[in-house]
Amino acid sequence: MITASFSPVVKYHGLARRQLMLPRLLVRPPLNGSTLGGLVDVREHGQHLGVRSGFMLRLSSWILLASAVACTPSRHARLASDVASDAPLVAHEPETPEESWRAQREKWRADYARTCEPLGGDPRVWHVQQPPPDHADVPDRYPWCEWKVSMVGDAIAATPDLRPNDPRLPFVPSRQPTLHVVHCETEALQPHDPDAPLRVSDYLSTPTGTLVGYNSGEFGGQLVWFDHEGHMKQTIADENVVRILKTSDGIVALTGLAHFSSDTGSVLKLVQRGDVWHTTRTSLPGAPRTSLTLPDGTIFVVTTQHLVRIDPGPRVTVLHRGRWRGLYPNSLVRDGEGTFYIGVRHFVVRLGYGTTGYREDWLAPAGTSVQPEDKAG
């Protein structure tokens, strides 16, 4: 019987190489000091667990993409099964990781668009929903749509965020940082594919080259400086980079990561002296998720559960503590009256300023809320 051992780094949206080792699945140790985790017996939860050479694991809502290179001697057969299947684990020759991931991604995108695109529109005419005490029943009551907000002239549009491709660098880097993973002790004896590169999250051209931010969530991130020829000259910071912004006060990078109990963020002010970039750090009240820069240079940032303003210095001011933690903010706009709209999962959050501070409303398309008793019936 196979037992799967999961560390806190495994998350439902996690993506990295993993090695299959019987009778346990080896995963990367946590980097945030957390000690959560445990053993999952396939006899009890096997209907939720799929293993694919690639390979894919699903345990309830947890999904991770991994490899099927065995850490143990070759006498152990590779295991594979369909991710969405409830059938027991069966040994067979699977498709390549790239084919599997591409097919699943395209199917997800088609289903997602069919469900969410007809619901998009101006969130100002959507229905106001009362934020629940917790988010436990939200996925059951509202469509799984990631709403992205944008300004279209004076109007506001909410469209489903289909997770577009990562930014494409305007040059070919000489080398790229790779996912922060560990390998089995016996892997050195076996051929294996190189670790995948970190995901590019943002970049900014400068007179001396290009600053590139990488962000692969719990699997690592970096801020790197490349020269004009694409040669990696300096790793400025080993942090998850969300945005790199050029302001009237200089260049700043928004960095941070929210993962399980850890939720940290920073504003890094970047200054180049000679051939070396230097940073000064100002803390944020959580990991940054999205930002908005006004024409006057003022920066507003939405973190895991806060709206903050960044003034020259940089100086951070917390404007509002929100209730959207766990809903993954992805976009931020402000209308002519100073009202903020934040695109999150399931909703658009509206923050209007009043005499006692910002009032938080959750907006959802008409007819999308399903009451628990209605669903049960």
Give the whole-angstrom CA distance, residue 39 versus residue 346. 32
CA distance 145 to 161: 8
Q: What percent of the chain is modeled with pLDDT above 90?
A: 51
- Mapping DSSP to helix (H, G, I), strand (E, B) and coil, where does residue 215 land? strand
Closest to 213 (Cα-Cα) out of 263, 260, 268, 282: 268
Whether the Cβ atoms of residue 364 and residue 374 lie closer than 8 Å to each other: no
Last residue of a domain, one of 44, 74, 94: 94
C-alpha 107, offset from chain centre:
20
* Residue 368 counted as domain residue: no
pLDDT at residue 372 tops 50: no
124 alpha-carbon distance from chain centroid: 27
pLDDT at position 109: 85
- Do residues 278 and 168 both lie within one domain? yes
Q: What is the structure's pLDDT at 348?
A: 96
Give CA torsion, residues 346, 348, 353, 354, to 10 deg: -50
pLDDT digits (tens, 9 = 90+) for 348-359: 999 999 889 999
Q: Residue 21 CA to chain centroid, in angstroms? A: 28
- The count of residues in the chain is 377
Query: Can you give the residue range of the structural domain that contains 280?
Result: 164-285
Q: Select from 70, 94, 118 the last residue of a domain.
A: 94
Q: pLDDT at residue 300 above 80?
A: yes
Domain match, 181 and 275 both: yes
**Whose structure tokens read 């993973």?**
181
In the predicted model, is pLDDT for residue 308 greater than 80? yes
Contact 251, 299 (CB under 8 A): no
2, pLDDT greater than 60: no
Q: Is residue 122 part of a domain?
A: no
**Does some domain include residue 247?**
yes
| Residue 346 is assigned to a structural domain of this protein | no
Cα separation, 227 vs 212, whole angstroms = 11
**Domain co-membership, 174 together with 67:** no
Looking at the predicted structure, is the pLDDT value of residue 92 above 80? no
Question: Is the pLDDT reported for residue 370 higher than 70?
Answer: no
Q: pTM of the predicted model, to two decimals?
A: 0.73
Contact 289, 256 (CB under 8 A): no
Q: Is residue 72 part of a domain?
A: yes
Least confident of 132-146, 299-313, 343-357: 132-146
Q: Do 170 and 59 share a structural domain?
A: no
* CA dihedral of residues 276, 258, 357, 282 (deg, nearest 10): -20
Task: With respect to residue 2, please indicate whether it lies within any of the assigned structural domains.
Answer: yes
Same-domain status, 170 and 256: yes
Instruction: Decide which of 71, 94, 117 is a domain's last residue.
Output: 94
- Residue 123 domain-assigned? no
Q: How many domains does the chain have?
A: 2
Residue 140: its H or E element: helix 138-141
* Residue 186 banded pLDDT, cuts 50, 70, 90: low
In a domain, 359, yes or no: no
Find the Cα–Cα–Cα–Cα dihedral 106, 112, 115, 119, rounded to 10°. -130
Residues 218-236 have pLDDT tens digits of: 999 999 999 999 999 999 9
Are 88 and 171 part of one and the same domain?
A: no
pLDDT category at 64 given cuts 50, 70, 90 is: very low
Q: Is the same domain home to 85 and 182?
A: no
Give the DSSP per-residue string, 163-181.
-PPPPPPSS--S---B---
